[in-house]
Amino acid sequence: MESVRKNAVAANLEDQTVEGFETQKNPKFEVYQDKKGEYRFRLKSSNGQIIAVGEGYKAKAGCLNGIESIKKNAPEADVKEV
């Protein structure tokens, strides 16, 4: 969780659903479409490791809102041990 906090705020956005997208440096959120055509994202840390993944969204706007929510809330999020 600490890695998500640290990387989410500084992460670039790489929209792989756009033809000819520009590859971004890590840390980054990668937006892509899965085999069902749903929009998803993954957060990669500065070393390229996937540290978070998002659910499938019917609309790209929903996926982007999910990313913005993480960027906004991750720094202040409570961490609970389970």
Question: 12: domain CATH number?
Answer: 3.30.160.160
22-51 pLDDT per residue, tens: 999 999 999 999 999 999 999 999 999 999
| pLDDT for the residue numbered 76 | 80
Domain encompassing residue 72: 2-76
Is residue 15 in a domain?
Answer: yes
Q: Give how many domains the chain has, as a whole number.
A: 1
Q: What confidence category does residue 54 fall into, taking pLDDT thresholds of 50, 70 and 90?
A: very high
Q: What confidence category does residue 75 fall into, taking pLDDT thresholds of 50, 70 and 90?
A: confident
Residues 6+ apart with CB under 8 A from 40: 31, 32, 33, 34, 53, 54, 55, 56, 57, 63
| pLDDT for the residue numbered 1 | 73
Taking the model in full, what pTM does it have? 0.89
Is residue 82 in a domain?
Answer: no
Is residue 59 in a domain?
Answer: yes
